[in-house]
Structure 1
Amino acid sequence: MYPEDHEMDKEDLIWKWICEKFVQHGKHQTSIFEVGETYFNELINRYMSIPIFNGFREVQSCRVHDMVLDLIRSLSAESKFLKILESNKDITSSQNNIRRLSLQNIEEDQETTLLANSMSISQVRSITVFPLAMTIMPAISSFGVLRVLDLHRCRIGALNSQPKVRDIGYLFHLRYLGLERTGISEIPEEIGNLQFLQVLDLDCNFEMRVLPSSMWKLRQLMSIKVLFRCYWPPGVLGNLTSLEVLETIYASPSTAQELGNLARLRELDIHFLAWSLEVEETFVETIFKLHDIQSLSITCDDVQYLDLLGGHWEPPRCLRKFAFSSDHITCSSLPVWIMRSGPAQLSNLSKFDIIVKEVRQEDVQILERLPALIHLLVWSHQTERLLVIGSDEFCCVIAFGMHCEPATQLVFRQGALLNAELVRFNLGVRVAIEDGNNDLFEIGLGNLLSLQSALVEIHWDGVTNMEAAKAYAAVKNAMNAQPRHPSIDIYMYPEKPEGTNYQNNT
């Protein structure tokens, strides 16, 4: 269904499988999406697809080996499972009773348009359209039994011809609707007709401001992605009781309250533009009701320091990911709930990403006790002059990040971060010199035996060019001495002065 070397987003792919009924419910308390994840991981484990990681070593997408893609296409054509149209020849040879259709790199001309309109598409259940083929897509009204409609990145908002967005509201069997980055500015009220819809992706449509009030009828909707600035009419969100994934929503008193009706919610990405006592209290009351929450991402503005969720919240044992981000504010310290809950309560927490006012050595020890932690990223605005990652600490962590301002010293003891493939941190040269670590700038990079890549920021304000160059060379030599020869990016802050003989990236 996808062109050669195309990157397939992990979540999109799994949701498509679900909407096509390729994934069946698993054991009790296991969501159907989690079952789909096992399918995805199995394809990677069998080397049938290649994982693609984001900048923090998380599998974000995949692509298919060329030989596997050829096999898929051959078997699909033989079983009439899927029809891929890449050229006019493909359209001419297309068979009747097409069930799944992929329109790829077809250029429009008069003959192509006539051929496309003559295809037998009344039985098509799934169609994926790529941008170059958008102009030859048949009218949406032609697809009477469509279940999956994927128009990602097709700029239909700029087209005066088909497809007419309003016609989507009459695809009564539709289960998956992908309209990410399509340039649309509104969704018609007719979307309320799609009472079987399970997945709605409206992300990155920057002109969209309001969701239709008829969306309250979408009671089977399981996943929605939309920009956080989109306004939710009162009463809509609280009726979407099948919702498992909600990205992203603006926190207002009404939306924060309606979230409490979403008992099945697993993933929540919420944005607080203006933090008020009313919103905070409502949100805390709501979060207590979300017993199945596995991923909670909070973005916040408006106040300088925030005691996140206070000390009242007791996270569910199923919590796997927690992230707090902001351009302007930080948490006063590690959240009370993470210090109070302990390893047993947080036995599934695998990702923790937070901005805090201060990091202390005891905070490092608290985080080290989280048994399932794989991805850790901590940003702070002040910290102790020396933080030590000790032996046998963070043994499961694959990606480790510690960014402290002003920059300090971070030292890795022998046996630390045994499985870390990626580290990112900053080194304060002035602090190291003042504390007597200026001879070798030894911070223990050679002890990270599984390291594949590193990003190091060297902050050299307040020291000489020679001292900065010495710190640079020490970090570079430590990485070069690694038996795995990991890649390294070294950045100097302030930027390196002209005429220095060390390079910014190696």
Structure 2
Amino acid sequence: MTTTRIHDVAKSCCSSHGDLVYKIQPLSAADSKKLFFKRIFDCEEKCPLNLKEASDNILKKCGGLPLAINAISSMLATGKTKEEWDHLRLSIGFARGKNSDIDTLDYILSLSYFDLPLYLRSCLLYLTMFPEDYEIEMQRLVQRWISEGLIHGEAGRDLIELGETYFHELVNRSLIQPVDIGYDGKASRCRVHDTVLDFLIYKSTEENFCTMLSSHVKSDSRVRRLSLMENEDPGSVEQLDLSHARSLFAFGFTRKYFPSLVNLNALRMLDLHGCRRLVNHHIKDIGRLFQLRYLNISWTAINELPRQIGDLEYLETLDASFTGLVELPESVTRLKRLARLFVPAKIKLPDEIGNMNSLQELWDINPFKQSLNFLEELGKLTNLRNLRIIWDSDGSDDASYKGKELVSSLCKLDASNLRTLHIEFYLTEREATLIRHPFFPALNSIREIQLRSGKLCWISKCLLSFANLQSLHIIGDTEIKQRDLDMVGSIATLLEFKLRYCRCVGPIIIGRGFPQLQKLAFYYSYMQLTFEVGAMPNVKKLDFSIHLKSFKSAGGGFDFGIQHLSSLASIRVTISCDGARAAYVESTERSFRSMAEANPNRPTLEITRELTEDMLE
């Protein structure tokens, strides 16, 4: 038996006859308690009531890791007073030199840390800027790594791709926990285990990598990176010397106090994501931050950017998604280094966007909100690699003209560097004529399609012409018939297919087709579904979200034939319990367990209940 933290090492140790890697899962809450209390009191029943709350909090910090539980329980074995437990609960971390088990845990984490190449150590330490238990989005993290100069690639190397490689390597080494794992087996988010985070905070403080006010930083310390958590003491922030700060991350900050940008001349990264109470005047001095590489104002109340933003000649990423912005100032076209621009769908962009020839990613624009000049200029962005557009003409009179100009520009981009084109369609029957072949060409860059309103049959011929289509998502109160599923199943390149709030007409039988599909999802879509023998030979993930009361009235049963999905690895079921009887919820769960057990692969099964407070007795 070979044990390792690195998944690739484990796979390389397997024979060519099969995957024999066993991934050890954290202990359950019950087993964690059993291990914890056995070490201290011999059993949970002997634990004094006044220590129960502290023990629950301590166990949460351990996260089901046997080594962490053993280490902490060893410390408590000689100190059982409530004061001692509460002290440990509040200061739990790395009490160096006081206990051999803690030193062992510290040593193991140090070993993992120093085993990393230098470039990965900095990327890992950077995670201390996020709060405990925070789900960190890979895309956002990689963009920040780039702005901080933590990713160094050879000339011509795509830094985003390299950053994603760094991210997955940290997951592979079990130093960060993967979250939201896709059909390709890769995570799009991560979380840092509390124990690992404690260690990283210690290293970060030791190296003055990042400053957190909770670490009781000295007011005369030189701050390089500052992470402001919610409910920080304004007085503590005012005492800091931020003249050398390179990064400022405000998490959930309110408008009561926010540090002035006037003296932050060295700032390269400013992340205000989710600070919903921040408004326009908080960034009125943004034009003074001449070194700024990264600016994130998504999910804030900011609805206007100052004209001086065009002075930020080094700016590489501007994320203004999910804001109230209705127009970008003309000055943004002077941002010659801007590589990533993310904006809300209803925004009006400057006509001279063709001047921004460094743009590599552009999300989410509605071409029908733009001028004809803009659509012509769009075709000049020959370095564009990732484009997301919202096709919603909203019945405008010039939709046909704009549609033709857009298609012309998309063809130019497709012939250049465009790799991924994501389109969200909002269609009426009249508008559907605009995208029928041959008016809408079979672009090689089209990877993802969402149909948010309209009928699937309106774009079926178009879908079949896209040679590289990988993901199809149908959303809304749309009727889906057997012939629609048969058509989708004939798309040979499709890897992901999702139906959300759709109505399937009649029994749906899935037999042939879907040769490469990896993930299938039905979110609150009512159907009578059956998988036949040999169906979907490569599907690995199956997601169901069921509104149980409506599902029952639709006449569907629960014998879907899941046992016929020969490559199935995981099933996730979300049951909306409102209006359904408890006995029916339980029988539904039993049915899914039976189907999972009947599959030869023994796929993992995750069942979640929603709206249980409205469940009938």
Q: Tell me if both proteins adopt one fold, taking TM over 0.5 as the criterion.
A: yes
Alignment-derived partner of residue 264 in structure 2: 143
Decide whether the 8 Å contact of 2:526 with 2:554 is kept in 1: no
Alignment-derived partner of residue 95 in structure 1: 221
Alignment-derived partner of residue 6 in structure 1: 134
Q: Does 1:82 align with 2:203?
A: no
Decide whether the 8 Å contact of 1:14 with 1:33 is kept in 2: yes
Other structure's SS at 1:290 match: helix
Q: CA deviation at 1:190?
A: 0.5
Distance 1:127 1:32 in 2: 22
Distance 1:402 1:106 in 2: 40
Decide whether the 8 Å contact of 2:506 with 2:528 is kept in 1: yes
Other structure's SS at 1:279 match: helix
- Mark the CA change 1:407 to 1:308 in structure 2 (over 3 Å): closer, same or farther: farther
Distance 1:475 1:74 in 2: 48
Distance 1:66 1:338 in 2: 46
Counterpart among 238, 244, 262 of residue 360 in structure 2: 244
What one-letter code is carried by the residue in structure 2 that aligns with 1:219? K
Point out the structure with max Rg over C-alpha. Answer: 2
Decide whether the 8 Å contact of 2:403 with 2:434 is kept in 1: no
Distance 1:498 1:156 in 2: 36
What one-letter code is carried by the residue in structure 2 that aligns with 1:123? H
Decide whether the 8 Å contact of 2:247 with 2:268 is kept in 1: yes
Distance 2:530 2:360 in 1: 39
- Mark the CA change 1:212 to 1:453 in structure 2 (over 3 Å): closer, same or farther: same
What one-letter code is carried by the residue in structure 1 that aligns with 2:510? V
Counterpart among 239, 242, 252 of residue 115 in structure 1: 239
Alignment-derived partner of residue 124 in structure 1: 245
Decide whether the 8 Å contact of 2:213 with 2:236 is kept in 1: no
Alignment-derived partner of residue 39 in structure 1: 166
Q: Structure 1, residues 401-441: CA drift from partner, whole Å, max 9, x if none? A: 357987443324256455422233889889979xxxxxx86
Decide whether the 8 Å contact of 2:523 with 2:543 is kept in 1: no
Distance 1:474 1:137 in 2: 52
Q: CA deviation at 1:268?
A: 2.3
Distance 2:152 2:253 in 1: 34
Q: Does 1:410 align with 2:530?
A: yes
Decide whether the 8 Å contact of 2:503 with 2:527 is kept in 1: no
Counterpart among 359, 378, 394 of residue 274 in structure 1: 394
What one-letter code is carried by the residue in structure 1 that aligns with 2:436? G
Counterpart among 273, 297, 305 of residue 423 in structure 2: 297
Higher relative contact order (CA 8 A, sep 6+): 1
Q: Structure 1, residues 278-311: CA drift from partner, whole Å, max 9, x if none? A: 2222222121112213141324255467257322
- Mark the CA change 1:471 to 1:34 in structure 2 (over 3 Å): closer, same or farther: same
Decide whether the 8 Å contact of 2:506 with 2:527 is kept in 1: no
Alignment-derived partner of residue 19 in structure 1: 147
Alignment-derived partner of residue 12 in structure 2: none
Q: Output the aligned Cα RMSD.
A: 3.9
Distance 1:4 1:36 in 2: 22
Q: Structure 1, residues 205-258: CA drift from partner, whole Å, max 9, x if none? A: 23x3222121111121111222112222332x3322222222222222434333
Alignment-derived partner of residue 436 in structure 1: none
Decide whether the 8 Å contact of 1:442 with 1:474 is kept in 2: no
- Mark the CA change 1:471 to 1:182 in structure 2 (over 3 Å): closer, same or farther: closer
Counterpart among 334, 347, 370 of residue 230 in structure 1: 347
What one-letter code is carried by the residue in structure 2 that aligns with 1:279? K
Other structure's SS at 1:90 match: coil
Q: Structure 1, residues 81-139: CA drift from partner, whole Å, max 9, x if none? A: 3222226x3243x523x322222255335x435423xx2x2222112122348755432
Percent identical residues? 24
Instruction: Structure 1 unaligned segments of length 5 or more: list them.
Output: 434-439, 459-464, 492-496, 502-506
- Mark the CA change 1:243 to 1:52 in structure 2 (over 3 Å): closer, same or farther: same
Q: Does 1:218 align with 2:218?
A: no
Distance 1:144 1:72 in 2: 28
Decide whether the 8 Å contact of 2:238 with 2:259 is kept in 1: no
What one-letter code is carried by the residue in structure 1 that aligns with 2:302? I
- Mark the CA change 1:69 to 1:455 in structure 2 (over 3 Å): closer, same or farther: closer
Decide whether the 8 Å contact of 1:113 with 1:136 is kept in 2: no
Other structure's SS at 1:131 match: coil
- Mark the CA change 1:169 to 1:357 in structure 2 (over 3 Å): closer, same or farther: same
Pairs within 5 Å for 1:313-332: 313-315=440-442, 317=444, 319=446, 321-326=447-452, 328-332=453-457
Decide whether the 8 Å contact of 1:387 with 1:411 is kept in 2: yes
Decide whether the 8 Å contact of 1:151 with 1:180 is kept in 2: yes
Counterpart among 509, 513, 527 of residue 387 in structure 1: 509
What one-letter code is carried by the residue in structure 1 that aligns with 2:405? T
Moved more, 281-290 or 149-158: 149-158
Distance 1:304 1:387 in 2: 31
Pairs within 5 Å for 1:346-361: 346=468, 349-354=469-474, 360=483
- Mark the CA change 1:339 to 1:209 in structure 2 (over 3 Å): closer, same or farther: closer
Distance 1:322 1:166 in 2: 37
More helix by share: 2
Decide whether the 8 Å contact of 1:351 with 1:374 is kept in 2: yes
TM-score normalised by the chain length of structure 1: 0.77
Q: Structure 1, residues 5-44: CA drift from partner, whole Å, max 9, x if none? A: 122121111111111122234585x632122111111111
Q: CA deviation at 1:316?
A: 5.2
What one-letter code is carried by the residue in structure 2 that aligns with 1:200? L
Decide whether the 8 Å contact of 2:558 with 2:588 is kept in 1: no
What one-letter code is carried by the residue in structure 2 that aligns with 1:128? F
Alignment-derived partner of residue 400 in structure 1: 520
What one-letter code is carried by the residue in structure 2 that aligns with 1:363? M
- Mark the CA change 1:425 to 1:166 in structure 2 (over 3 Å): closer, same or farther: closer
Distance 1:498 1:137 in 2: 44
Distance 2:576 2:515 in 1: 22
- Mark the CA change 1:381 to 1:197 in structure 2 (over 3 Å): closer, same or farther: same
Decide whether the 8 Å contact of 1:197 with 1:221 is kept in 2: yes
What one-letter code is carried by the residue in structure 2 that aligns with 1:267? N
Q: Structure 1, residues 311-358: CA drift from partner, whole Å, max 9, x if none? A: 245555555x312232x42343554344235xxx42xx4423246865
Decide whether the 8 Å contact of 1:441 with 1:471 is kept in 2: no
Alignment-derived partner of residue 50 in structure 1: 177
Counterpart among 427, 450, 454 of residue 569 in structure 2: 450
Other structure's SS at 1:146 match: coil
- Mark the CA change 1:420 to 1:412 in structure 2 (over 3 Å): closer, same or farther: farther
Decide whether the 8 Å contact of 1:307 with 1:335 is kept in 2: no
Q: CA deviation at 1:167?
A: 0.6
Other structure's SS at 2:413 match: coil
Alignment-derived partner of residue 318 in structure 2: 200
Alignment-derived partner of residue 494 in structure 1: none
Q: Does 1:63 align with 2:191?
A: yes
More strand by share: 1
Distance 2:207 2:525 in 1: 60
Distance 1:283 1:400 in 2: 32
